[in-house]
Amino acid sequence: MNQIYLDNAAATKVDDFVLEKYLQYIQEFWANPSSYHSTARLVRAELEKARIEISQIIGSLSQEVFFVPSSTIANNIVLNSFENIIGFDFEHPSIEKQLINRNQKILQIDSSCVINLDKIIEVIDDKTELITLMYVNNIVGTIQPIAELCKRLETINTLRIKNHLPAIRVHSDCSQAFKYLDCKVKELGCDMMTLSSSKINAPKGVSVLYVSKDVHLNPIFLGGSQEKGLISGTENVPAILAMMEAMKKLDFDRKKTNEHFAKLKKYLLNSIQSEDKISVLGVEKNVAGIVLFGIHGVEQETILTALDLDGFAVGSSSSCSTGAIEENRFLRSIGYGKDFDSIIRISFAQDTTLEQIKLFVVSLKNIIAKLSN
Ligand SMILES: Cc1ncc(COP(=O)(O)O)c(C=O)c1O
Can you give the length of the chain in residues? 373
State yes or no: pLDDT of 180 exceeds 90: yes
pLDDT digits (tens, 9 = 90+) for 206-223: 999 999 999 999 999 999
Residue 319's pLDDT band, with cuts at 50, 70 and 90, is: very low
pLDDT (0 to 100) of residue 284: 80
Domains, the chain, in order of start with CATH, read: 4-12+254-371 (3.90.1150.10), 16-250 (3.40.640.10)
Distance 365 CA to ligand 1 centre (A): 31
3-state SS of 289-335 is: CEEEEEECCCCHHHHHHHHHHCCEEEECCCCCCCCHHHHCHHHHHCC
To 5 degrees, how large is the angle CA 254–CA 258–CA 264? 150
Q: State the pLDDT confidence band at 318, using cuts at 50, 70 and 90.
A: very low
Instruction: Count CB-CB contacts under 10 A for residue 280.
Output: 18
- What is the distance in A from the centroid of ligand 1 to the CA of 70? 8
Query: Which pLDDT score is estimated for 327?
Result: 55
From 139, 176, 204, 347, mutation site for ligand 1 pocket: most ligand atoms within 8 A of C-beta: 176
From residue 71, alpha-carbon distances to 50, 134, 136, 273, 298 in Å are 18, 12, 14, 35, 33
Q: Residue 66 has what pLDDT?
A: 98
The DSSP letter of residue 200 is T
Q: Give the containing element (helix H, strand E) for 127.
A: none
For ligand 1, atom 16: residue with the closest CA:
138
Residues 48-73: pLDDT tens digits?
999 999 999 999 999 999 999 999 99
The three state secondary structure string of 49-63 is HHHHHHHHHHCCCHH
Protein residue with least CA distance to atom 14, ligand 1: 10
Atom of ligand 1 nearest to the CA of 72: 11
Torsion angles phi and psi, residue 237, rounded to 5? -60, -45
CA–CA separation, 79 and 131 (whole Å): 10
Number of C-beta neighbours around residue 320 at 10 A: 12
Please tell me the distance from the alpha carbon of residue 115 to that of residue 111, in angstroms, as a whole number: 10
Nearest-CA residue for ligand 1 atom 4 is: 71
Q: Which of 120-124, 191-195, 313-317 has the lowest mean pLDDT?
A: 313-317
Residues 6+ apart with CB under 8 A from 336: 294, 325, 328, 342, 343
pLDDT at 321 over 60: no
Q: What share of the chain is helix, strand, coil (3-state, %, to 5)?
A: 45, 15, 40
CA 330–ligand 1 middle distance (angstroms): 16
**Cα–Cα distances in Å, from 210 out to 7, 93, 99, 222, 356?**
27, 20, 21, 20, 37
* Mean pLDDT confidence for 15-42: 97
- Residue 29's H or E segment, with its range, is none
**Residue of 76, 78, 88, 94 to test ligand 1 pocket, by largest number of atoms within 8 Å of CB:** 94
Q: Are 309 and 362 in contact (CB under 8 A)?
A: no
- Counting residues of the chain whose pLDDT is more than 70, the rounded percentage is 97
Element spanning 145, H or E:
none
- CA 43 to chain centroid: 29
- Give the ligand 1 atom nearest the CA of 94: 4
Name residues contacting ligand 1 (CB within 6 A).
70-72, 92, 94, 134, 138, 173, 175-176, 196, 198, 207, 318, 320
pLDDT of 325 strictly over 70: no
Closest to 352 (Cα-Cα) out of 13, 10, 47, 64: 13
Q: Which of 71, 86, 291, 102 is nearest to 169 (CA)?
A: 86
Q: Running DSSP on this structure, what letter comes out for residue 209?
A: E
SS3 361: helix
Residue 342: name the closest of 296, 311, 277 by CA. 296
Local confidence band at 326 (pLDDT 50, 70, 90 cut-offs): very low
Return d(Cα 224, Cα 203) in angstroms, integer: 24
Bridge partners (DSSP) listed for residue 225: none
Q: Is the pLDDT of residue 135 over 70?
A: yes
Ligand 1: nearest atom to the Cα of 136: 1
* 307 CA from centroid of ligand 1 (Å): 24
User: Rounded to an integer, what distance in angstroms lies between the CA atom of residue 199 and that of residue 188?
Assistant: 20
DSSP code of residue 211: E
Q: Ligand 1 center to residue 72 CA distance, Å?
A: 6
Long-range contacts, 80-83 (Cβ 8 Å, 24+):
80/218, 80/220, 81/216, 81/217, 81/218, 82/129, 82/130, 82/169, 83/127, 83/129
Q: pTM of this prediction?
A: 0.95
